[in-house]
Amino acid sequence: MATHLDSPRVRGHQGGPPALLNDYQRHLTTSRGLAAPTVRNYFDDLAPFFEYLENQGLTPHKNLKAFRAFIERDGSKRTEHEYRDLVRDYVSWLLSDRPVRSGSRAGLRGHERGSVIRALAALRSFMRFVIDRKEAPDAHMWAPRSQAMRRFSPKAVRRLPDVVSVEEAARLVEAPAQHQGPSSLRDRALLELLYGSGLRVSEAAGLDVEHVSLDKGIARVWGKGSKAREVPGGTMASQALRTYTQDARPSLAKRGTGSALFLNSRGGRLTQRSMQSIVRRYAAEAGLREGTHTHTLRHSFATHLLDGGADLRIVQELLGHSTPSATQVYTHISQSETRRAYMAAHPLAHKRLGKQEA
């Protein structure tokens, strides 16, 4: 079975003990229920740590004995202090310019703040696993709810998610109507569902026919961590799905087998990449800006709900977010859209605000 240890980033740093990392991969996949792309991201974000250890001459052996000996070299009472010094130096190393030999991006550069935050999250997850296995000494900073790691994380630059307006979303979902054939009906149903339910592209790609109730207008999807939730699709999405499943899907299904809701031209399950291509294609036809993608529809779904007065916790539940903080970013978009609408519509907005800002 191929593993994420086969990736160049991990394979290039022999500091990572293969047996332990294989066990860690199984832990992420089975115990934590993470999807393969998420596990791959964990390993990509962990790879710099092994590179850092190599540069410090701390390349661990198979059972991390060298690493443990380094942490405990001044006695168990200094363990927390040694960990803190290590992480502090690691963050400094990540942010500093250093030689990178990776294609067009070769040269001197350091990690961006967001990358450092992800690297620390990956390190914390890995260290918790290693400590639970008694492969490294424990310390309070690695505890599940410890706030200690926040002291080492650089402040993230908040980027507001990209959204389209209600009018632009309408043009996008109606764009397939300009075409003929089963695929155009499928594409209309897909776009209506992505925008009408705020699904992740992975959730849409994983849908089977039995997961959708056209009578009730709901779909049962599995999000991050294999968490199931039911989401409404709205009248337009239900109508588009009914037309697709009755008039288009049967002809596509004849060319293949399987229970997938969205089928490709050969009758197989429509992949996430294909769905992304579909969104980009119709976004261009609808005259939307370049860079509109599947997640743009999810962001727009949440923002338009909040603009319409939906409660934040309801939007959180619909999106499948585990915490309200992940959803709160959309309130900033909603507020900025409200200000933009005011500036565009009120006859005295420019004059009064201009005086204040001057």
Sheet (strand 218-222) strand order:
212-213, 218-222, 228-232
Residues 13, 111, 188, 200: which is the catalytic one? 200
What residue type is 357 in one-letter code?
A: E
Decide if 232 contacts 178 (C-beta within 8 A).
Answer: no
Residues 24, 83, 282, 330: which is the catalytic one? 330
What ranges make up the beta strands (E) of 191-346?
Answer: 212-213, 218-222, 228-232
Residues 133, 224, 280, 332: which is the catalytic one? 224
SS3 277: helix
200 counts as catalytic:
yes
Residues 84, 113, 295, 332: which is the catalytic one? 295
Longest dimension (CA), the chain: 74
295 counts as catalytic:
yes
Angle, helices 294-307/312-319, rounded to nearest 10 degrees: 160
73 counts as catalytic:
no
298 counts as catalytic:
yes
13 counts as catalytic:
no
**Distance, CA of 97 to CA of 111 (rounded, Å):** 8
Residues 188, 298, 299, 304: which is the catalytic one? 298
Residues 9, 113, 229, 321: which is the catalytic one? 321
105 counts as catalytic:
no
| Residue 151 Cα distances to 49, 87, 120, 202, angstroms | 18, 10, 11, 34
Catalytic residue positions, numbered? 200, 224, 295, 298, 321, 330
